[in-house]
Chains A and B, each alone.
Chain A
Amino acid sequence: MILAAVLSSLIFLITLVLIFSEKMNRSITAIAGGVFMVGLGKIMHFYSEEAALEAIDFNTLGLLLGMMILVAMLEPTGFFEYLAVLAARASKGKPLRLFVLLGSITTVLSMFLDNVTTVVLIAPVTILISEILGVSPIPYLVTEALLSNTGGVATLVGDPPNVLIGSAAGLSFADFLIYSLPIVVVAWAGALILLRYLFKSELSKRPRNARAVMKLNPAETLNHPKTARQILIVLIAAVFLFFVHHLLHISPSFVALGAAAVALVVVQPDINEVLKRIEWSVLIFFAALFIMVGGLEASGVLGSIVGLFRNASSVQPVLFGVLLIWVVAALSAVVDNVPITIALIPVIKGLGETGMDITPLWWALAFGAGFGGNGTIIGSTANIIVATLSEKTRTPITSKLWIRRGLPVMLTTCAIASILYTILYRWF
């Protein structure tokens, strides 16, 4: 059994290293890892194909897919660009106002829609607005990524770790609003104020041409206003259902997939175009990770890790939670928070079986995984997208700049989360 544990750990670690070093496409790596894990399990009799399928959390995949379909339909309508242009006009070209508006829009969107898509669509228009004003796009781009990472922690559907945790721990959308949202609001405000201070010099420069933004025509950005309206109505209905899904005994994934189905029927888009825009590689990546972690569980590795932590139950539970926030944050600053979350979920569940009160730990995991991604340029996919885009411009964001702006934000949001977690612990 030890051999099984060692070999399965090896497969998992090698896969993780390959994913993080980006030597091979991460979905390909994960698929290979998953297949190897099942193969090893069959040979050594600790895992099977049926067990692998059971390990896949289809609730998570369904929720992700449903939301992806809705966003894929909303993208081509020009809605995201429309919002960015509205923000530009509302700001009247004043850098500070633009900063707050763009940051807020990205945050609110990323609480309900995928972080990455939100940033992918708003960043180009942000660059456009900055160039027309004659200011640097860097403060706005960096803030959009950081605030959308931060804000996404507030809701069940806001970022992938939350989706994973919600499904594993049986937490509802309302639970996130009650336990996560208040802390995230404070952390977000802290992040905004900090960023405003960190970008003080860039934001105090007067734009060379503020009037030009008033000539941006928002109506011309909306290619399909009717479709946008229809999808937004469906989205709002879905959000309402998210609020009460636990009362109606339906899973969030059913709400998301149901909403996607309704939107598809109402809009009747070219289904092939919609399906093309869905990131299947992300869903496959998740599925493969589930399979691998299932193998780790079956081979007893996670049980041993839980055993290590059992001694930790003598540690003050509040301290344990705070430590968890920071350890997870540190890890997710340098590596993708999805594998970390997927791997830690069974560990926390195992700790629960030893009698520890794990409910607060789920929140600690959510805060750490969500806020940690701000720390470095590679900490979250939204960061990478913004960085890659800015590399193609005349004013690229460097890794060093990101650390000088992102790391303080990460530390501040984690600190705020730790403090509030400690103070409000008994309500968790």
Chain B
Amino acid sequence: MEISKYMKRNVVSIPETSTVREAAAIFVKHHVGLLPIVGKNKKLIGVVGLRDLLSLELPDFVSFIADVDFVHDFGAVEDTRPPARTLDKSIKTLMSPAISVPEDTGLLRVYALMLQHQLHDMPVVSKDDKLVGVASRVDVGAAILSTWSKVA
């Protein structure tokens, strides 16, 4: 069971020249969790996740205080936006190195890698590192579970 059979081929990606603002607009439009960042010839350069952009909004205290149950109202934090100069920065400032799999990878391996690297979407590349698809945990998981119907 190779990932190439179960991945989405219609990948939403962004060029490395994008700004944070442009990336945000794409996240909003397509409702995805991960955006692969591509360079020339659709070569996979890195990824940026929804959480990376949201970290610009998250208040500082969340990283210092483990249990925020007692904060019933986040007050001014709910109305805070990142400043314009942050949004105009290149998306590369939030980019993480791409973790990807070749298109002939087995489903279980893909799933195990997703768990290890805490990814919900895995970019899939061709032999020359070009982005050819993306698979979500649900795509992979459902594909694996579909084989269970064959168990007597």
Q: Name A's B-contacting residues (CB within 8 A).
A: 81, 85, 124-125, 127-128, 131-135, 207-209, 211-213, 215-221, 389, 392-394
Compute how far the CA of A410 lies from the CA of B60 in the bound complex, rounded to whole angstroms: 30
Assess whether B65 is interfacial by the CB under 8 Å rule: yes
A133-B75, A133-B76, A209-B76 known; A128+B65 contact, CB < 8 A = yes
In the assembled complex, which residues on chain A have CB atoms less than 8 Å from the CB atom of B61? 124-125, 127-128, 131
Provide 26 A-B residue pairs closer than 8 Å at the C-beta atoms, listed in order of the A residue: A81-B65, A124-B64, A128-B61, A128-B65, A128-B71, A131-B76, A132-B59, A133-B75, A133-B76, A134-B75, A134-B77, A134-B80, A208-B75, A209-B79, A211-B73, A212-B74, A212-B75, A215-B73, A215-B75, A216-B73, A217-B72, A219-B70, A220-B70, A389-B64, A392-B60, A392-B63
Please tell me if the beta carbons of A218 and B63 are within 8 angstroms of each other in the complex. no
Compute how far the CA of A124 lies from the CA of B71 in the bound complex, rounded to whole angstroms: 13
A216-B70, A221-B70 known; A127+B64 contact, CB < 8 A = yes
Residue of B68, B73, B80 touching A212 (CB-CB under 8 A): B73
Assess whether B69 is interfacial by the CB under 8 Å rule: yes
Please tell me if the beta carbons of B71 and A132 are within 8 angstroms of each other in the complex. yes
In the assembled complex, which residues on chain A have CB atoms less than 8 Å from the CB atom of B77? 131-132, 134
Please tell me if the beta carbons of B76 and A127 are within 8 angstroms of each other in the complex. no
- A132-B74, A211-B73, A220-B70 given; 10 more Cβ-contact pairs under 8 Å: A124-B61, A125-B65, A128-B61, A132-B76, A209-B76, A209-B79, A212-B73, A216-B72, A220-B69, A393-B60
Compute how far the CA of A209 lies from the CA of B76 in the bound complex, rounded to whole angstroms: 5
Minimum Cβ distance to chain A for residue B7 (Å): 38
In the assembled complex, which residues on chain B have CB atoms less than 8 Å from the CB atom of A212? 73-76
Residues of chain B at interface, number, CB under 8 A: 19
* B63 to A, closest residue via Cβ: A392
| Residue among A132, A135, A207, A211 having the largest count of chain B Cβ atoms under 10 Å | A132
Compute how far the CA of A127 lies from the CA of B61 in the bound complex, rounded to whole angstroms: 6
Minimum Cβ distance to chain A for residue B82 (Å): 9
* A213 to B, closest residue via Cβ: B75
Residue of A209, A217, A218, A393 touching B75 (CB-CB under 8 A): A209
Minimum Cβ distance to chain A for residue B61 (Å): 4
* A127 to B, closest residue via Cβ: B61
Compute how far the CA of A217 lies from the CA of B70 in the bound complex, rounded to whole angstroms: 5
A127-B60, A393-B60 known; A215+B72 contact, CB < 8 A = yes
In the assembled complex, which residues on chain B have CB atoms less than 8 Å from the CB atom of A135? 76
Minimum Cβ distance to chain A for residue B84 (Å): 15
* B71 to A, closest residue via Cβ: A216
Please tell me if the beta carbons of A134 and B76 are within 8 angstroms of each other in the complex. yes
Please tell me if the beta carbons of A211 and B69 are within 8 angstroms of each other in the complex. no
- A-B residue pairs, 3 tightest by C-beta: A212-B75, A134-B76, A220-B70
A124-B64, A209-B79 known; A132+B73 contact, CB < 8 A = yes
Minimum Cβ distance to chain B for residue A131 (Å): 4
Which parts of B85-137 form the interface with A (CB within 8 Å)?
none
* B65 to A, closest residue via Cβ: A124
Minimum Cβ distance to chain B for residue A93 (Å): 9
Compute how far the CA of A125 lies from the CA of B59 in the bound complex, rounded to whole angstroms: 12
In the assembled complex, which residues on chain A have CB atoms less than 8 Å from the CB atom of B60? 127, 131, 392-394
Please tell me if the beta carbons of A208 and B79 are within 8 angstroms of each other in the complex. yes
